[in-house]
Each structure stands twice: as C-alpha cells, then as structure tokens.
Amino acid sequence: MFALHLQLMNKRYLIVFDDVWNIDEWYEGLMSSGLPDEGLWAGHLRLDRVLPKDCGGSVIVTSRLEEVAVKMVGEENMCRIEPDKDGECCWNIFTDSVTEGGLADDHPTLRSTKTEIVDRCGGLPLAAKTIGEILRGSLSPASREFGAREQASSLRSL
C-alpha cells in the first residue's frame, strides 16, 4: 500500500470499489502490506488515511452494508444515497433499458403497467435497469405488438 501511495502522489486518480460486501483477508493484507508501523501509518486500515488526496485523488466505495463502507473510508466520508422516492428516475431508467431493444417507451402496455413496474423497482435504479433488460429480452418482435401485456405481467413473479 505504501508503494501505491508513492505512485499516486501528485497525481489525480479515482479508485472505485463497487458493491463491497465484506472486508476480507485480501483487503486487510493490502492495507497492512508495506506500511510503516509508526506515525500516521500505524494501524490504519482506511483508504482515506493511506492514499494521497492533495492533487484530487478520490476513492469511491459502494456497499449495501454501511459498516463495511465505514471501515474502508470512515464515517466522516460517508455519503448515503436513498432510493428514489417518486419513482420517476426509475421509470426513466426502465424505459431507456426497454427502448434499447426497439420497444417504444410510449407503448400502451408499458404505460398501463408503469405503477407496477415502479413499485417493483423499490426506488433502486439497478432494479429498474434489470427489469427493463429482462422485459426487453423476453419480448420477441411478434409479442411486442400482441403479447406484451402477458410478458409485462410476468413481472409479478420477479
């Protein structure tokens, strides 16, 4: 980690740890390898304390488990993102995912199931994208016109 610190000094960087579920031996080994045992370095297992930030360096950690993110970056660096309350963001993400497959976002079946789709997403953008991709992939060209309602109702089983 000390070598990485030296490499990143006086540089802009962005490191992303996405969807972290736990801190395992790899992370603990990374954070303790090559760090001096004294001074500012002693006992730190947090990224915000061992990587240089003087020239715009940043670390992003995403996790569904707050305690994991706190261990990695500290409470003072946390930015909590709440689910979309009104559902409009999720609806836009959903329609973008569906329309990539050629299905019109103003399709009557989609409009009639908007409330159900938004409810299923629970305000989570990734859920909206995934449901849109599943629906897009399951709709054949023939069923887009006539069977889309039956395909969309299969969302209940998700």
Task: Say what the pLDDT of residue 105 is.
Answer: 63
The reported pTM is 0.57
Task: Say what the pLDDT of residue 14 is.
Answer: 92
First to last CA, the chain: 43
Task: Say what the pLDDT of residue 12 is.
Answer: 93
Kindly report the number of other CB atoms within 10 A of residue 84's CB atom: 19
Task: Say what the pLDDT of residue 134 is.
Answer: 86
pLDDT in tens, the chain (158 residues): 777 888 888 999 998 989 888 887 777 776 666 655 555 555 556 777 778 888 888 889 888 889 888 888 889 988 888 888 888 888 889 888 888 766 666 667 777 888 888 888 888 888 899 988 888 777 645 444 445 555 555 555 56
Quick one: which H or E segment has residue 58? strand 58-61
133 to 84, 95, 102: CA distances (angstroms): 19, 10, 12
